[in-house]
Amino acid sequence: MSIPASHADLLEAVTLAHVATIGPAGEPQVNPVWFEWDGTHLCFSQTTGRQKYRNVGREPRVALSIVDPGNPYRYLEVRGRVVAVDDDPDNAFIDRQAQRYIDQERYPWHQPGDHRVVVRVLPERTSQMG
């Protein structure tokens, strides 16, 4: 599945993706995350102690909504499936995101004992507006 050319720029924008997962009782859970597009997957960082991590481990279907930071009436929605959850033992991915989003070399909110992973979502369907 390819991302529509008309909205591919949003995958490179420094903006948040709101990620929706399915909770343990079937309820939706939505949170904003920093993200990265690797050309095939939408990727975001998560700690293994968080509900979102448990949600995607149980139910890999997710949706992401990315709003154009320059035009709130233009957005891209991506529905897909988590196809990999990779360890980020040296925090390389989250540190790269901190550099991109807040111009800091290291992610400043790391807590002792946090175990970070990179969640990789394969897009299956998109919708867009604007």
Q: What is the distance between the alpha carbons of residues 19 and 54, in angstroms, rounded to a whole number?
A: 14
DSSP-H helix ranges across 47-117: 51-58, 92-102
CB–CB of 56/119 below 8 Å? yes
Mean pLDDT, range 84-99, rounded to an integer: 96
pLDDT bucket at 75, cuts 50 / 70 / 90: very high
Give residue limits of the domains in the chain: 5-129
Mean pLDDT, range 58-72, rounded to an integer: 97
Residues ≥6 apart with Cβ < 8 Å to 127: 76, 77
- Token pair 């903006």: residue: 15
Mean pLDDT, range 91-113, rounded to an integer: 96
- pLDDT of amino acid 109: 96
- pLDDT of amino acid 1: 72
pLDDT beyond 90 at 11: yes
Average pLDDT along the chain: 96
- pLDDT of amino acid 103: 98
Q: Looking at domain 5-129, what is its CATH homologous superfamily?
A: Electron Transport, Fmn-binding Protein; Chain A (2.30.110.10)
Q: What is the 3-state secondary structure (H, E, C) of 76-90?
A: EEEEEEEEEEEECCC
